[in-house]
Structure 1
Amino acid sequence: MSHAPAHSNRLAAETSPYLLQHAHNPVAWQPWGEEALALARAENRPILLSIGYSACHWCHVMAHESFEDPETAAVLNRLFVNIKVDREERPDLDKIYQTAHQLLTGRGGGWPLTVFLDPRDHTPFFAGTYFPREPRHGLPAFTDLCRRVAEWYGEHADDLAGHAWALGEAMTRLNPAPAGGEILDGAPLEDARAQLESAFESRHGGFGQAPKFPHPDNLNRLLRHWHASRVRGNEDETALKMAAMTLTRMAMGGLFDQLGGGFCRYSVDNEWMIPHFEKMLYDNALLLPVYADAAQATGNGFYARIAAETGEWALREMRAPGGGFTSALDADSEGEEGRFYTWTREEVEALLSPGEFAVAAHRFRLDGEPNFEGRWYPHVFHSLAETARRLGIDETEAARRFEAARERLFQARGKRVRPGRDDKVLSAWNGLMIRGLARAGRLLGREDFLQAAEQALDFLRTGLWREGRLLASWKDGRARHAAYLDDYVFLADGILELLQARWREGDLEFALELVEAVLAHFEDREAGGFFFTADDHERLIHRPKPMLDEALPSGNGIAAQVLLRLGHLLGETRYLDAAEGTLRAAWNGIREAPYAHTSLLTALEEYLDPPRSVVLRGHGEALARWQALAQKAYDPGRMVLAIPAEAGALPGLLAERRPRGEAIAYLCTGTACAAPVTTLAGFERALEGKWD
């Protein structure tokens, strides 16, 4: 017999899985919106703003300790208007109040984010992250803190006007002032390379010390730098070695799920052994193309396998009905972090044959000490060659046994209670996954990846594109929330990558519609660059213009890349001017901290050395043959479009790229184009040299 929950609040009508997790708390939570904000103003009660996400471990801990506790809830309900926000649905609010936390406390924030706001203008006056129910770790008890905050507000509310002005001024200054007439040069590219080597952890790979994040943008920058140095004739082998070592160690470690594929959020140690077990769509979407690129650049099949298993994980575990991709898998199951992924030695031994167990035990060191809370979490300690020598068998037999062991363990694990899945579909993260699957599908020859990318694009276009504007989030048939800069530009970038895999009627037109919406509603026409929110977005205490890469690439960096590529491809000077304006807006920050602006560095690189575009027109097998030739080598600055001869009306300069014979190639570098090439031998010669 089912029982009605003892409590319900206004979150019960929401779609966000994170908000629904709190719908039956005794706390009188409300979603962010005019109703809650008006109530706070009318009653002059401060707002307790709590921001988190469904896969967040410490969000769960604070919920269990405090928000599910009736005594704590009674204090919160009496003193505050309580508002819950899913940071993945409302990254605008999260960016603003994470920034405010940094300004108020002098240190970085995180989740859960706990902020107390002035009800009159929503300015934060106290901020923190996780607070325990009882005092510990140098933190006060949450209810004691809440009482002190409410008491302080009652005594000092009239003093907050000056505080609000000062905080507003500080946040405004964070939006970069544009560079003047300075020449944009390549110095930050070299400086970033030096900074990456300085931060490189040479024993285990990666950058900095634990907790260690994968930083796919850093790895992409190193691969691009290596390629550029090779073209110049002074190959930077160290750059390639740093990228390769990091990619290898992450994939051999516990950051990568050795049984089911896909990457966890970060490693809690320097060895990449034990992760924070949540799996985010965006991490995998960003790592997937880097591994595929590394496989192409180095010829190392190991990277191809990791890319393939990452894509397979996404298709198997993260797809929503209709083809979109869901957001995250929780770190916890059965009330324990990592429970789904860890083993006892006895469990493993019971599932495997003696020969299989011998190989798995040596590779995963099951004969050593447990590495996670008395259990074993798979981490590759020994290569197959080492294991084969240890057991006195050949490497082929070791590989056969190991793959059989992996499959048996994977099938057995699938019968366990699975971690929760946040099944909302986010436009921005799907744009990243479309790009990753399209690139990996093309480089690895995976038709299933390409089909999945196309289906995800069609899902977004059908379900989240309304009258020339994009929506940010979809769940259970409901599309919600005005889209942000990242949604538009990540999706446009994904389409450009998908078009390089194969041409579909309507896809380029959709990318151009997205870009035109960005120029119309997000561009800062005075200072350059793009705001995170549109000009008709809800008015908040700050309109950020983020340039730094964080967990996601900078929307401004991706916007500049997309605009440069489309501008050169179509001969559209508006796009080129907007890209240059973005680089100038970010220039002072890029020069001061190039390492933190890797997405904009890629745009800078392509501004200084314009992308080489290859437009092919032709028929059937001949067109496919020319396309494969153009895309055979790793060349991140080359864009290849193979457009069937029968394709409909094309925009801009593409309209002049007319078909002739079985195939024809139009090769350009920036605005400089070579004579069309009409023979396969001539095309091969052109690809070997600089055609401009």
Structure 2
Amino acid sequence: MRNTLSEASSPYLQQHKDNPVHWQQWSDEVLAMAKQLDKPILLSVGYSSCHWCHVMAHESFEDDEIAAVMNDLFINIKLDREERPDLDKTYQLAHQLLNRQAGGWPLTAVLDPKTLVPFFSGTYFPKQPRYGLPAFTELLTNISTVFKQRRDEITEQNGRLSDALKTVASGGAEEKGEVDSLARELAESIIERHDSRYGGMEGAPKFPQPAVWHAALHLTQSKELIAVTAEQLEQVVRRSLDGFSRYGLFDHLAGGFFRYCVDERWEIPHFEKMLYDNGQLLSLLSEAGHYFADGDLMQSVDLTIGWLQEQMLSPEGGYYSALDADSLDAEGRSREGAYYCWDAKEMEFLDEQEQRFAKAYYGLDEAANFEGEWHLVTRKPWREIADVLDIHQKQAPILMESARQQLKMVRDKRELPFRDDKVITSWNALTLQGLLLAKKAGSKAVSEERVNECLNFLHEKVWRDSKLTACFKDGQAYQDGFLDDYGYLAKALLLRLSDRFDQQHWQWLMLLCQSLWEQFADQQQGGFYFTASEQEVVITRHKSWSDDAMPSSSAQALEALWVVAEMTNNTEWLTFVEKSLKQASVEAKQAPLQYPSVIRLLEVWSQGLELWVIRGESFELPSWQEYLSTGLKPGCWVFGVEHGVNDVSLESKFPATDGMAAYCCRERQCFPALNDFEALKRFVEKQV
């Protein structure tokens, strides 16, 4: 055998093409060979910007002696979790069941070649014993011995694990009728567990968890919460968003958010930047910044959009996946954070007043906070810094922006961390959602042209024969799409149509929803499978409502199906929506903090979806649409359809007229058309 990763598309797999390990890609041929040889499969799962993946690769996979042991005892498969999220979900869940604790990356699993069920699973293992972990070669030898000598026990364990995987992956909770409102439980849990000093949730490491805070923001409008709880929740949300955007999670020079922080103060991040985090945080900060009229949050939005344009945009119009945490420092050594951190002397090119302000604002007048250097944070608002330094409030923003731009110019000369140039459909769909919500919030950094470029990329490059592909690289789309590709894109198209309705994107949305219904929906029980009915199934098909680093694709898919069903009078889909939400509520009741997207959707269900379709001339539509869309209105969708868009799917319920017509469906009833703006205002005021 030989290492075959030079043939791979994935940048992560390409990073391992020169390893002495005989790495293989996941394929039917390789799996069949392992089965024929009856040789256990060592599955190593990671991604290109994963720091500990790099550490394990350098320590073990580049070592000839360790590679010899691996090659002798195992069939070695290297997997990019971003290309195959279906397999990653399966083996992460298996890891949790085997070890009674969460997994992570790198994931190291050993599979029975006959069943592909893992009988051992761990994460990072060192070359030499440390951190309470055995040496990797010792571990491998012991695993191989167990596989040869205790096969019956492995087979028995695999049977139990396989059954458990199927139960958990299919959403094992049974429907038990109506469940009390979960909005209050979730709100109280967030209030109780949030970090009152620094924002976010208590403890370390700290992840931003956008799905939790997005739900919390929307629940501030819930009728289920008493006024005191709603006010507390709003304060908690604002404190948390300040924590995300003011401290070390955010790149204050170029924009963009890091993946998480290692401490409770949001001071020092793990320096990788992931597209899926930034897409979600764009959505969250745009909605919150607009609602709270918070210019600092909107500044973070604008800078992040600028970073996406500058460092992450592909020539085809999609966005790349990630920037690594590690890069080369001035001495040519690869180390974490080298691109982002500063020596105070590097500030000396600024003029005296700029330098004085920048050092105070970015914390360089305090002790170095990362390995003898400074990672920039802004613990004090610029207005407070201006007061302390006796700088006029109108001059301070000018100094701040001048210093930022000059520091960025110096940093831009450093070597950029490794960039994973895969373009992932689902992550781009989340980013498109963020761009559209930023546009709605009034961000000047996002243009109609940029939105269209991203839309065109998704339609022209990864939409093939009425199907989505999950990945795009080097001019090629590959890997059949998963639920998150379809669900996130369907939600993005809803946002696009609420911004500007056109027949092409409406037709595309209906095709996506039809695919969700035919290929992913569990039409009998409710909910969605992560893989399409015609895709490869390894052990089981996953079905889950929970959020993790990514928002629940089931919840976003269901929301899209629901809105389209309301617009087109599809009663079969509406019945499915109700059945699915009942199923989801039973799961969510068990651990509300793990299901914020579902609980947000259940809250909309309890209060009733509000749907507006306005038909009329293009010059009149914006004022009507703006009036109906202003404010934070969870569960309210407003679509302005110009004369000339005469899709038959809309005509029966929302027929075009000679003049303006606004149709409203809310609280499970539809009202007669409103034909003038004053009548519209009277209707809305009466409903409040």
What is the TM-score with the length of structure 1 in the denominator?
0.95
Call closer, same or farther: CA 1:654–1:386 in 2, change over 3 Å.
Answer: farther
Q: Within 2, Cα distance between the matches of 1:543 and 1:230?
A: 35
Which deviations, in whole Å up to 9, do the C-alpha atoms of 1:599-652 show, x marking residues without a partner? 111221122122211111122321122222222222122111111111132414
Q: Which residue pairs with 2:171 in the alignment? A: 176
Percent identity between the two aligned chains:
38
Which deviations, in whole Å up to 9, do the C-alpha atoms of 1:485-527 show, x marking residues without a partner? 1111111000001111112221011111111111111122332
Deviation at 1:654, TM superposition (A): 6.5
Q: Which residue pairs with 2:661 in the alignment? A: 664
Q: Which residue pairs with 2:683 in the alignment? A: 686
Match of 2:465 among 448, 464, 467: 467
Q: Counterpart amino acid of 2:265?
A: E
Q: Within 2, Cα distance between the matches of 1:562 and 1:423?
A: 29
Deviation at 1:405, TM superposition (A): 0.5
Deviation at 1:383, TM superposition (A): 1.9
Deviation at 1:144, TM superposition (A): 1.2
Q: Which residue pairs with 1:209 in the alignment? A: 203
Q: Within 2, Cα distance between the matches of 1:129 and 1:654?
A: 56
Which deviations, in whole Å up to 9, do the C-alpha atoms of 1:121-143 show, x marking residues without a partner? 11101110000111111111111
Call closer, same or farther: CA 1:162–1:286 in 2, change over 3 Å.
Answer: same
List aligned pairs for 1:409-558, cutoff 5 A: 409-446=407-444, 448-558=446-556
Whether the 8 Å CA contact 1:563–1:578 is kept in 2: the answer is no
Q: Within 1, Cα distance between the matches of 2:317 and 2:298?
A: 24
Deviation at 1:232, TM superposition (A): 8.3
Deviation at 1:51, TM superposition (A): 0.1
Q: Within 1, Cα distance between the matches of 2:95 and 2:86?
A: 14
Q: Within 1, Cα distance between the matches of 2:91 and 2:262?
A: 26
Which deviations, in whole Å up to 9, do the C-alpha atoms of 1:464-497 show, x marking residues without a partner? 2222221111111121111111111111000001
Q: Which residue pairs with 2:343 in the alignment? A: 344
List aligned pairs for 1:215-230, cutoff 5 A: 215-229=209-223
Secondary structure of the corresponding residue to residue 72 of structure 1: helix
Unmatched 5+ residue regions in structure 1? 1-6
Secondary structure of the corresponding residue to residue 575 of structure 1: helix
Are positions 1:293 and 2:293 aligned together? no
Are positions 1:37 and 2:35 aligned together? no
Deviation at 1:564, TM superposition (A): 2.0
Q: Which residue pairs with 2:382 in the alignment? A: 384
Whether the 8 Å CA contact 2:604–2:634 is kept in 1: the answer is no
Call closer, same or farther: CA 1:599–1:230 in 2, change over 3 Å.
Answer: closer
Q: Which residue pairs with 1:590 in the alignment? A: 588
What is the TM-score with the length of structure 2 in the denominator?
0.96
Deviation at 1:233, TM superposition (A): 6.9
Deviates more, 1:510-519 or 1:560-569: 560-569
Whether the 8 Å CA contact 1:311–1:449 is kept in 2: the answer is no
Q: Which residue pairs with 1:402 in the alignment? A: 400
Whether the 8 Å CA contact 2:200–2:206 is kept in 1: the answer is yes
Are positions 1:108 and 2:102 aligned together? yes
Call closer, same or farther: CA 1:380–1:230 in 2, change over 3 Å.
Answer: farther
Whether the 8 Å CA contact 1:556–1:582 is kept in 2: the answer is no
Which deviations, in whole Å up to 9, do the C-alpha atoms of 1:233-284 show, x marking residues without a partner? 7772111100001001211101010101111001111111111111111111
Call closer, same or farther: CA 1:272–1:452 in 2, change over 3 Å.
Answer: same
List aligned pairs for 1:635-646, cutoff 5 A: 635-646=633-644
Q: Within 1, Cα distance between the matches of 2:487 and 2:145?
A: 45
Deviates more, 1:81-90 or 1:607-616: 607-616
Deviation at 1:585, TM superposition (A): 2.4
Whether the 8 Å CA contact 2:282–2:435 is kept in 1: the answer is yes
Whether the 8 Å CA contact 1:613–1:638 is kept in 2: the answer is yes
Secondary structure of the corresponding residue to residue 340 of structure 1: coil
Q: Which residue pairs with 1:3 in the alignment? A: none
Deviation at 1:94, TM superposition (A): 0.5
Deviates more, 1:206-215 or 1:312-321: 312-321
Deviates more, 1:366-375 or 1:34-43: 34-43
Whether the 8 Å CA contact 2:302–2:445 is kept in 1: the answer is no
Which deviations, in whole Å up to 9, do the C-alpha atoms of 1:263-318 show, x marking residues without a partner? 10011111111111111111111111111111222122222222222222222221
Q: Within 2, Cα distance between the matches of 1:469 and 1:386?
A: 53
Are positions 1:20 and 2:14 aligned together? yes
Work out the number of aligned pairs and report it: 682
Whether the 8 Å CA contact 2:529–2:544 is kept in 1: the answer is yes
Q: Counterpart amino acid of 2:10?
A: S
Secondary structure of the corresponding residue to residue 437 of structure 2: helix
Deviates more, 1:298-307 or 1:492-501: 298-307
Whether the 8 Å CA contact 1:489–1:562 is kept in 2: the answer is yes
Call closer, same or farther: CA 1:451–1:578 in 2, change over 3 Å.
Answer: farther
Which deviations, in whole Å up to 9, do the C-alpha atoms of 1:550-607 show, x marking residues without a partner? 0011121112222222222222112212222222222321111122111111221122
Are positions 1:78 and 2:72 aligned together? yes
Q: Which residue pairs with 1:139 in the alignment? A: 133
Q: Counterpart amino acid of 1:345?
A: A
Deviation at 1:381, TM superposition (A): 2.4
Report the aligned-residue RMSD: 1.9
Q: Counterpart amino acid of 2:61?
A: F
Match of 1:130 among 124, 144, 166: 124
Deviation at 1:74, TM superposition (A): 1.0
Call closer, same or farther: CA 1:594–1:535 in 2, change over 3 Å.
Answer: same
Whether the 8 Å CA contact 1:437–1:450 is kept in 2: the answer is no
Q: Counterpart amino acid of 1:627?
A: Q
Deviation at 1:669, TM superposition (A): 0.7
Which deviations, in whole Å up to 9, do the C-alpha atoms of 1:96-143 show, x marking residues without a partner? 111111111111110000001111111101110000111111111111
Unmatched 5+ residue regions in structure 2? 329-333
Q: Within 1, Cα distance between the matches of 2:368 and 2:229?
A: 43
Q: Within 1, Cα distance between the matches of 2:146 and 2:173?
A: 40
Which deviations, in whole Å up to 9, do the C-alpha atoms of 1:163-185 show, x marking residues without a partner? 11100111122122464461254
Secondary structure of the corresponding residue to residue 651 of structure 1: helix
List aligned pairs for 1:598-613, cutoff 5 A: 598-613=596-611
Whether the 8 Å CA contact 2:176–2:586 is kept in 1: the answer is no
Q: Counterpart amino acid of 1:228?
A: S
Call closer, same or farther: CA 1:655–1:589 in 2, change over 3 Å.
Answer: closer
Secondary structure of the corresponding residue to residue 395 of structure 2: helix
Deviation at 1:158, TM superposition (A): 3.6
Whether the 8 Å CA contact 1:438–1:450 is kept in 2: the answer is no
Q: Within 1, Cα distance between the matches of 2:406 and 2:541?
A: 52
Deviation at 1:653, TM superposition (A): 5.6
Call closer, same or farther: CA 1:8–1:120 in 2, change over 3 Å.
Answer: closer
Deviates more, 1:28-37 or 1:573-582: 573-582
Q: Which residue pairs with 1:165 in the alignment? A: 159
Q: Within 1, Cα distance between the matches of 2:649 and 2:473?
A: 34
